[in-house]
Amino acid sequence: MSREQAAALDKELNAIYGKLMKKPAETHAGAVGKDGIRATQRLWLAYRDAWMNFGAVRYPSVTSETWAGRLTSRRNVQLQDLLGN
């Protein structure tokens, strides 16, 4: 994956996250709140970075952009599901 592709996925991640934070809060039982999304996103960013560090050691032929792109692409799908799109 190229640096540009990984950057585009990261830009998409930020856009989806921004939409989630602007979305009106749901009040029904079991709804995921903005505080929960924010906390989980921070943890996910640490997870992504840790995976990139691990990948660099364990799989040195795979670029950091590839790790970032794969993980970010999956996270984008998860956040889109929360957004309801």
**What confidence score (pLDDT) does residue 27 get?**
66
CB atoms within 10 A of CB 6: 21
- For 59, list phi and psi in degrees, rounded to 5: -130, 70
Rounded Cα distance, 76 and 79, in Å: 5
Tell me: the pLDDT tens digits for 9-50?
999 999 999 999 998 877 666 677 888 999 999 999 999 999
pTM (whole model) above 0.95: no
pLDDT of residue 33: 83
Q: What domain range includes position 53? A: 3-24+33-83
Cα separation, 6 vs 2, in Å, equals 6
- Residue 10 identity (one-letter amino acid): D
Count of structural domains within the chain: 1
